[in-house]
């Protein structure tokens, strides 16, 4: 059910508290607020300004309560990226939206608001009714703090369940601009990770999902610190950079919301210039659990004190100690054997009369948890920095992912890389494809439809491995644009931009294809009795091309009774693997999550999803492919023909 968002908010006149542009609330502890009209940027928009002596915050009530300015009062500089385009993907500031697309369906709605002023804080409550979705936002600014806190509640105010997904976007520009001097820092293991401008990094559920992050201008020594209340509904955090901004994103999982149910998200942000302000943030209050506050202080305080040196001279993965820092960097995340791969280790002992701490023990670098390099830290002199390089013995490593771990004084941080021999990988793919071609000829001569389909599935899986091997990041399951490329006509060379995840995909899918091929060659069906989610394929009746589709068979299926069938039809740009996003819980954006909740293992229905090439709308050749997929499913499984539905 799509949320109705086109209607204007239904707001009672008595609840709309709008004051004149010149009206000010009584000042208390430096707190003040006003509302006015924009005369230049965002012309005609109502501006709501909250201020204390440290920061000034500007909100747009008519644009979803978007935060467009967070200004350091001492310098007059806005720390957020400003853009006049309020209804564009490039829009600046901090805002939210329903779904991943369209991009502006909350921030183009007017919100009613009221301002409450206490002795120690200002609080603004925004409210809007968007049909069957009611949104409330509460911003709070303290009297003697740079902390701006937000609590947003999304409530199903309708009479039927709706499926929701929400995204919060932070478009930031510390000190008013962004560039090579800007870094994003977040916790990982016992230490920190710092990413320079230009990175884009999704932080998924299988990796560390940080509860705080900091964006820093290393030249000016100014940082923006964000903390987030832990919430199981958060599916994905993304760090990236776009023209003029460092961008952070929070995505919730797509979930079914019943009438009256609500989802609440809380976060706060602060301006940080001194180490003491990190400690004050934990005392003043933030959305971190108590167990994480001390750890954040221990990591960030020394970093803030030495930010110019650390950001400029230390590597990507950092360990912070009272006496200094250690770092580990791997310049290339994939070692294409026999090319060399070097790990860089740095150790820095801080100078200064206030630093009396002395390092002890040994710096140890481990490859796959096996000690490889050691360096006594006691050799470090105050103010000294040491760099060590270690050539990873990639020729001795098996293809796949490996770990590098830097440890000292009972603490450690870890990174990973992948090794792959492109020549041997290409040979394996060629062999698999040759075997499937031979099996296909034999199957066609036999006329056995089930065997032909099994061979088609083997051939498709071997082609998937080839596609990823050649195209690298340009080919992803869940996006159908790369399927149109005939990779069998391209040279079988490993893509230069492959990532560790790409290497893992090639190896996993190739091993799966090889196993299926062996099973078919032995005269057996590799899908007989198989449960869970997997890909199959058929040869098109139209042009003989391979057409993949996915099937989900719950563990309770035994073939004794006919089951309903539910084809899942993806949206524009998707493919047959959109079910995977829900089944593996990898991406909360999947519109099919509701079909694969935890109880789906016991469900008494079959699921399938096509690639469905061709134009949008499942017309022409896509329609033919879907009908052929249904024929394949009904041949291989007992389907109740009176209960075939469609969803998408």
pLDDT tens readout for residues 36-58: 998 778 888 899 999 999 999 99
Would you give the distance in Å from CA 210 to the centre of its chain? 11
Which range has the worst mean pLDDT, 176-190, 539-553, 611-625? 611-625
Query: CB-based contacts of 182: which residues, under 8 Å, 6+ apart?
Result: 174, 196, 197, 215, 216, 217, 218, 241, 246
Tokens read off for 474: 């340009």
Cα distance between residue 190 and residue 108, in whole Å: 42
The sign of the dihedral angle between the CA atoms of 350, 351, 357, 358 is: positive
Instruction: Name the residue among 199, 235, 233, 231 with its Cα closest to residue 215.
Output: 199
Q: What is residue 353's predicted lDDT score, i.e. its pLDDT?
A: 61
pLDDT for 31 beyond 50? yes
Cα distance between residue 548 and residue 551, in whole Å: 10
Across the range 204-224, mean pLDDT stands at 78
- Decide which of 201 and 324 is more confident: 324
Which range has the worst mean pLDDT, 149-153, 383-387, 451-455? 383-387
Tokens read off for 93: 């500031």
pLDDT for 183 beyond 60? yes
From residue 366, alpha-carbon distances to 99, 399, 402, 407, 564 in Å are: 42, 18, 11, 8, 53
Whether 350 and 302 have beta carbons less than 8 Å apart is answered as yes
Q: How many CB atoms lie within 10 A of CB 173?
A: 23
pLDDT for 246 beyond 70? yes
Q: What is residue 3's predicted lDDT score, i.e. its pLDDT?
A: 30
529-648 sits in which CATH class?
alpha beta
pLDDT for 188 beyond 70? yes
Span 497-551, pLDDT tens digits? 888 889 999 999 999 999 999 999 999 999 999 988 899 999 999 999 999 999 9
Alpha-carbon torsion, ordered 188, 193, 195, 200, to 10 deg = -20
pLDDT for 6 beyond 60? no
pLDDT for 644 beyond 60? yes
Q: What is residue 406's predicted lDDT score, i.e. its pLDDT?
A: 96
Tell me what percent of the residues of the chain surpass a pLDDT of 70.
86
pLDDT band at 603 (very low <50, low <70, confident <90, very high): low
From residue 603, alpha-carbon distances to 341, 450, 557, 568, 583 in Å are: 48, 25, 9, 16, 14
At residue 550, the 3 state secondary structure works out as strand
pLDDT for 286 beyond 90? no
Q: What is residue 23's predicted lDDT score, i.e. its pLDDT?
A: 38
Residue 386 buriedness (CB in 10 A; 0-12 / 13-18 / 19+): middle
pLDDT for 17 beyond 70? no
Tokens read off for 315: 């590597």
Domain ranges of the chain: 13-86+93-308, 314-418, 529-648
Q: What is residue 192's predicted lDDT score, i.e. its pLDDT?
A: 92
Tokens read off for 213: 């992050």
Tell me what percent of the residues of the chain surpass a pLDDT of 90.
57
Cα distance between residue 561 and residue 555, in whole Å: 14
pLDDT for 24 beyond 60? no
Q: What is residue 164's predicted lDDT score, i.e. its pLDDT?
A: 84
Instruction: Name the residue among 349, 281, 280 with its Cα closest to residue 321.
Output: 349
Q: Hunting for tokens 């040759």 — which residue is that?
A: 434
Instruction: Name the residue among 635, 573, 570 with its Cα closest to residue 606.
Output: 635
Q: What is residue 199's predicted lDDT score, i.e. its pLDDT?
A: 64
Q: Report the CATH fold assignment for 13-86+93-308.
A: Beta-galactosidase; Chain A, domain 5 (2.70.98)
If residue 36 lies in a helix (H) or strand (E), which one and from where to where?
A: strand 32-37
Domain 13-86+93-308 matches domain 314-418 at the CATH topology level:
no
Across the range 602-627, mean pLDDT stands at 84
Across the range 325-348, mean pLDDT stands at 90
Q: What is residue 589's predicted lDDT score, i.e. its pLDDT?
A: 46
Which range has the worst mean pLDDT, 208-212, 410-414, 494-498? 208-212
Give the chain's mean pLDDT.
85
pLDDT band at 284 (very low <50, low <70, confident <90, very high): confident
Cα distance between residue 89 and residue 78, in whole Å: 20
pLDDT for 598 beyond 60? no
Instruction: Name the residue among 29, 45, 308 with its Cα closest to residue 142.
Output: 29
Q: Which residues of 626-642 are buried (b: 16+ CB within 10 A; e: fewer)?
A: bebbbebbbebbebeee
Span 65-113, pLDDT tens digits? 999 999 999 999 999 998 887 766 567 899 998 875 555 578 878 999 9
Across the range 446-461, mean pLDDT stands at 95
Q: What is residue 647's predicted lDDT score, i.e. its pLDDT?
A: 79
CATH number of 314-418: 2.60.40.10
Q: What is residue 586's predicted lDDT score, i.e. its pLDDT?
A: 41
Which range has the worst mean pLDDT, 202-211, 258-267, 634-643? 202-211
Across the range 302-323, mean pLDDT stands at 92
Across the range 314-319, mean pLDDT stands at 94
């Amino acid at each position: 059910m799509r949320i109705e968002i086109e209607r204007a908010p239904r707001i009672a006149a008595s609840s709309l508290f709008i004051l004149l542009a010149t009206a000010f609330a009584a000042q208390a502890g430096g707190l003040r607020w006003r509302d006015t009209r924009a005369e230049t940027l965002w012309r005609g928009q109502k501006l709501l300004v909250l201020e204390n002596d440290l920061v000034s915050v500007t909100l747009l009530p008519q644009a979803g309560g978007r935060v467009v300015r967070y200004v350091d009062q001492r310098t007059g500089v806005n720390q957020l990226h400003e853009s006049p385009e309020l209804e564009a993907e490039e829009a600046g500031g901090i805002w939210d939206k329903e779904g991943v697309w369209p991009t502006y369906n909350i921030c183009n709605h007017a919100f009613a608001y009221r301002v409450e002023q206490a002795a120690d804080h200002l609080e603004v409550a925004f409210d809007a009714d968007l049909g069957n979705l009611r949104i409330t936002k509460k911003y709070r600014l303290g009297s003697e703090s740079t902390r701006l806190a937000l609590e947003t509640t999304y409530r199903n105010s309708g009479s039927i369940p709706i499926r929701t997904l929400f995204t919060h976007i932070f478009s930031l520009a510390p000190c008013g601009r962004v560039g090579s001097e800007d870094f994003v820092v977040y916790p990982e293991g016992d230490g920190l990770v710092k990413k320079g401008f230009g990175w884009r990094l999704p932080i998924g559920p299988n990796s560390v999902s940080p509860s705080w992050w900091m964006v820093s201008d290393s030249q000016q020594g100014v940082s923006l610190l964000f903390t987030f209340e832990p919430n199981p509904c958060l599916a994905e955090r993304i760090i990236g950079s776009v023209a003029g901004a460092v961008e952070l994103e929070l995505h919730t999982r797509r979930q079914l919301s019943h009438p009256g149910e609500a989802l609440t998200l809380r976060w706060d942000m602060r301006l940080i210039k001194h180490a003491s302000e990190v400690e004050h943030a934990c005392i003043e209050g933030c959305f971190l659990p108590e167990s994480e506050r001390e750890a954040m202080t221990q990591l960030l305080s020394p970093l803030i004190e030495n930010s110019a040196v650390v950001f400029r001279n230390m590597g990507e993965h950092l360990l912070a100690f009272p006496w200094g820092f250690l770092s580990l960097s791997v310049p290339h995340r994939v070692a294409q054997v026999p090319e060399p791969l070097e790990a860089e280790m740095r150790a820095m002992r801080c100078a200064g009369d206030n630093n009396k701490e002395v390092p002890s023990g040994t710096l140890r670098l481990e490859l796959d948890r096996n000690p490889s390099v050691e360096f006594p830290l006691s050799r470090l002199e105050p103010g000294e920095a040491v760099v060590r390089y270690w050539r990873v013995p990639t020729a001795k490593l098996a293809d796949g992912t490996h770990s590098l771990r830097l440890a000292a004084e009972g603490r450690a941080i870890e990174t990973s890389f992948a090794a792959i021999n492109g020549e041997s990988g290409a040979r394996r793919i060629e062999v698999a494809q040759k075997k499937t071609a031979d099996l296909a000829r034999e199957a066609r001569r036999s006329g056995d439809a089930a065997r032909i389909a099994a061979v088609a599935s083997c051939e498709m899986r071997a082609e998937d491995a080839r596609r990823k091997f050649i195209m690298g990041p340009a080919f992803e399951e869940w996006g159908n644009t790369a399927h149109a490329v005939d990779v069998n006509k391209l040279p079988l060379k490993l893509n230069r931009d492959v990532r560790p995840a790409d290497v893992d995909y090639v190896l996993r899918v190739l091993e799966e294809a090889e196993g299926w091929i062996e099973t078919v060659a032995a005269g057996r069906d590799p899908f007989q009795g198989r449960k869970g989610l997997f890909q199959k394929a058929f040869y098109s009746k139209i042009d003989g091309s391979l057409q993949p589709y996915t099937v989900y068979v719950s563990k309770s299926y035994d073939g004794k009774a006919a089951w309903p069938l539910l084809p899942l039809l993806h949206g524009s740009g998707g493919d047959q693997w959109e079910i995977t996003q829900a089944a593996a819980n990898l991406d909360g954006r999947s519109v099919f999550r509701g079909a694969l909740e935890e109880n789906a293992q016991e469900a008494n229905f079959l699921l399938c999803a096509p690639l469905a090439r061709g134009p949008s709308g499942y017309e022409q050749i896509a329609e033919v492919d879907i009908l052929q997929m249904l024929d394949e499913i009904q041949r291989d499984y007992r389907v109740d023909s009176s209960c075939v539905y469609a969803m998408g």
